[in-house]
Amino acid sequence: MKLPLILNGDDVTLDGDTRESLFTVLQREAGVFQEKTNCRKGTCGRCHVVLDSKEVPSCLVPFFQVKQREVVTPEGFSQTDEYRQFRLILDEEGLVECAECTDVQIFHLFSYLELFPQAGKEECRMVIGEIPCRCGSRPVLERGAARWLERKEAVRVGRR
């Protein structure tokens, strides 16, 4: 079954079975989520996408439901200016890249901030903690998120 959808801003047609999840089809047909170990049960957070503005675990979304819908993956988000600016902050904070969780955590954090732009440091800390992490980068991400919020506030009050 071939379905048209918008993937990371591009019109694409992906081929999948009605029993397959969006995650499985994205992995096979679009080459995303290649480096991550995934639970495929909706608990690890490593397959999250934004589907029509809502963050969802793609392993629980039937592929047939995404016809004509808009899907953004962490790989797609990593091409944005917002991502690049945040990565600069993280690099200054000494982030050691982890192929398993870094981009997933950043994606999850910014999906949350998109929905809740008034979120504070404590909420960001909670959101970062929702993605399983074995590399120990959470404190760096938390410092980066705090600086990101400070920067946003400085822009808001006209100090930058």
Q: Angle between the 121-128 and 102-115 helix axes, to the nearest 10 degrees?
A: 140
Cα atoms in the 13 Å half-sphere on the side-chain side of 67: 8
- Residue ranges binding ligand FES (CB under 6 A): 23, 38-40, 42-47, 57, 59
Contact 36/104 with Cβ under 8 angstroms? yes
CB of 98 to ligand FES, least distance (A): 16
Q: How far is the CB of 39 from ligand FES (least distance, A)?
A: 4
Cβ distance 6 to 20 under 8 Å?
Answer: no
Which one, 55 or 93, has the nearer CB to ligand FES? 55
Following DSSP, what letter does each residue of 4-38 receive, concatenated? EEEETTEEEEEE--TTSBHHHHIIIII--S-S---
Q: Please tell me the distance from the alpha carbon of residue 62 to that of residue 157, in angstroms, as a whole number.
A: 44
Min separation Cβ 43 and ligand FES, Å: 6
Residue carrying structure tokens 């870094």: 102
Smallest separation (angstroms) from ligand FES to the CB of 136: 20
Pick between residue 45 and residue 144 the one whose CB is nearest to ligand FES: 45
